[in-house]
Structure 1
Amino acid sequence: MFTPAQAATVLQVRESWLRRRAAERRVPCTFLGKHLRFSRADLEAIVAEAQRPPAVAHPRTRRSAAPPRQS
């Protein structure tokens, strides 16, 4: 089991980023009482999720300038 500081070093991310994601339950983790810990499998899952290709972005359409108002 890794502490947040150790896990952040292995993942090459900031500890604050990892703690925030864990608190939001956006990354796999384990709470042993009040202590946050990461298993090797948790770290591998975080890396696998990061390697997933990004979702396809929908192309943004450009708006043309509005025609001048006629009075």
Structure 2
Amino acid sequence: MLGVKASWLRRKAAARAIPCTFLGKHLRFSRADLEAIITAGEQSPRQKRHRSG
């Protein structure tokens, strides 16, 4: 559904960078959590400014 590896989800969840619920050692994602992750992924990433020097 998200098109990412499980390891990516675990890493982001552990860093509290994506919405999720921890139940002991287990991660759970509600439909609202998944929709928020998808919406955040659809936003275009910031472009880095390149200095001309």
TM-score, reference length from structure 1: 0.65
Count matched residues: 53
**Unaligned stretches of 5+ in structure 1?**
1-9, 63-71
Match of 1:45 in 2: 36
**Could you report, residue by residue, the CA deviation over 1:13-70 in whole angstroms, capped at 9, with x for unpaired residues?**
11011001000000100012332100111111001111112223212223xxxxxxxx
Sequence identity percentage: 58
TM-score, reference length from structure 2: 0.83
Structure number, greater radius of gyration:
1
Question: Structure 1 segments of 4 or more deviating over 4 A?
Answer: none
- Distance (whole Å) between structure 2 residues aligned to residue 56 and residue 34 of structure 1: 36
- Distance (whole Å) between structure 1 residues aligned to residue 23 and residue 45 of structure 2: 33
**Unaligned stretches of 5+ in structure 2?**
none
Letter in structure 2 aligned against 1:50: G
Match of 1:57 in 2: 48
Supply the RMSD in Å over aligned alpha carbons.
Answer: 1.3
- Helix, strand or coil at the partner of 1:11: coil
